[in-house]
Amino acid sequence: MMRPDLEVVEVRRDESFKVWEHGYPYRTIRWHFHPEFELHLIVATRGKYFVGDHIGSFGPGHLVLVGPNLPHNWVSDVAEGETIERRNLVMQFSQDFMRRCIEAFPECKEAQGLLDDARRGIAFDEATSVAVAPLFEALLTARGIRRTSLFLLLLERLCSAAQRTLLASPASSQSSSASTRLSHALSYIGKNLTSALRESDLAQLAGQSVSAFSRAFHRHTGMPFVQYVNRLRIEAACQMLLADDARITEVCFQCGFNNVSNFNRQFRAAKGMSPSEFRSLQRLNARSGDVAVDAASNSADVCSTAPPHRARHPANAALAPPGN
């Protein structure tokens, strides 16, 4: 079987987990893995799915929970060149997040068995999919405490499922756990981006020699250690540039770079522009939304002040505002 790619899951700084949707084809639709749990709900198309050494068929309503580092992929059966605007919903959350949930709320220990089974992948029955679907949809736009409460309610639905089918064989699950030491290193990097990160220290954490760790790291991430760290730091910088008005120098040091010139060079290499240009263009993008709202408001004002007799004229009847 071909070697899976590593997907870098980026969770916003002001959120505990990631919920999103995408169509087909899409960049993440490939044989891949990541250290996070993933809940996957198909809303359109049929096809074949692959979880570890399991191969099965899927259709709308197909609901699967995949555990950390377990390779997976969903391939839709669509005509060549055809695109699907919205194929599935995805929720991703880290092992550390669930550990902290269980520590903070002992009642969440009920989910431990579910999480253990997810290391082989779990397919859920139709009734559970129907119950989970509206919660999943609501999570796409939920904010604040409601977002957290929806997550816990969804988790409760999964725990109480009448039928859970394990997908990958125990052997497949064990082979995927060979990446566990590397996933610990990846998790450590994500939590310590602002610190000095040395490949030798991460190799020690993974219990490997530097050369063995370097080869394994490149094989699983598709890039050298330093490039991977810089990529994560640049993505963190982008979030900071969008979130507040901190000076470029402050952003540089807060995301882990130790000098501004290197930060600017790495940012330009990754994004094709300087940090200040990135921030300016994003502000321009935000202002365009305000302009669109103002234009719609002005258009509504013009319609509301139009003389009534014009709206009733036969030639203009189709243009009459609602209620006239």
Which residue in 200, 199, 11 sits closest to 92, CA to CA? 11
Which residue in 2, 7, 126, 148 sits closest to 66, CA to CA? 7
| pLDDT tens digits along 180-191 | 677 778 878 888
84 burial via Cβ count (<10 Å: 0-12, 13-18, 19+): middle
Is the N-terminal amide bond of 308 cis, ω within 30° of 0? no
| pLDDT tens digits along 207-264 | 788 988 898 888 777 789 998 898 888 888 887 887 767 899 999 998 899 899 999 9
Comparing 9-23, 86-100, 281-295, the range with the smallest average pLDDT is 281-295
pLDDT of residue 320: 38
In the structure, what pLDDT confidence band is assigned to residue 290 with cuts at 50, 70 and 90?
very low
In the structure, what pLDDT confidence band is assigned to residue 173 with cuts at 50, 70 and 90?
low
pLDDT of residue 26: 86
pLDDT of residue 253: 92
Percent of the chain with pLDDT over 90: 47
Q: In angstroms, how far is CA 316 from the centroid of its own chain?
A: 49
- The per-residue DSSP string of 3-61 comes to PPEEP-----TT-SSEEEEEEES-TT-SSEE-SSEEEEEE-S--EEEEETTEEEEE-TT
More confident residue, 231 or 110: 110
pLDDT mean over 180-205: 83
Domain boundaries, the chain: 5-174, 192-277
- Which pair of tokens denotes residue 260? 């501004």
Under a CB-based contact definition with an 8 Å cutoff, are residues 64 and 133 in contact? no
In the structure, what pLDDT confidence band is assigned to residue 323 with cuts at 50, 70 and 90?
very low
| pLDDT tens digits along 20-73 | 999 998 888 888 889 899 999 999 999 999 998 898 999 999 999 999 989 899
Interstrand relation of 72-76 and 63-66 (parallel, antiparallel or unpaired): unpaired
| pLDDT tens digits along 94-109 | 989 999 999 999 999 9
What fold does the segment set 192-277 form as a domain? Arc Repressor Mutant, subunit A (1.10.10)
pLDDT of residue 127: 97
pLDDT mean over 4-20: 88
Q: Tell me the β-bridge partners of 89.
A: 21, 41
Q: Report the distance separating Cα 158 and Cα 165, nearest Å.
A: 12
pLDDT of residue 131: 97
Q: Does the pLDDT at position 130 exceed 70?
A: yes
Q: Does the pLDDT at position 297 exceed 70?
A: no
Q: Does the pLDDT at position 309 exceed 60?
A: no
pLDDT mean over 301-319: 44
Q: Does the pLDDT at position 293 exceed 50?
A: no
pLDDT mean over 178-207: 81
In the structure, what pLDDT confidence band is assigned to residue 10 with cuts at 50, 70 and 90?
confident
pLDDT of residue 321: 37
Global model pTM greater than 0.95: no
Q: In angstroms, how far is CA 41 from the centroid of its own chain?
A: 14
- The per-residue DSSP string of 162-215 comes to S-EEE-S-HHHHHHHGGGHHHHHHHHHHHH-TTS---HHHHHHHTTS-HHHHHH
Q: Which runs of E-coded beta strand occur in 59-144? A: 63-66, 72-76, 84-93, 122-124
On average, the pLDDT of the chain sits at 83
Under a CB-based contact definition with an 8 Å cutoff, are residues 260 and 253 in contact? no
Q: Does domain 5-174 have CATH number 2.60.120.10?
A: yes
Q: Does the pLDDT at position 316 exceed 50?
A: no
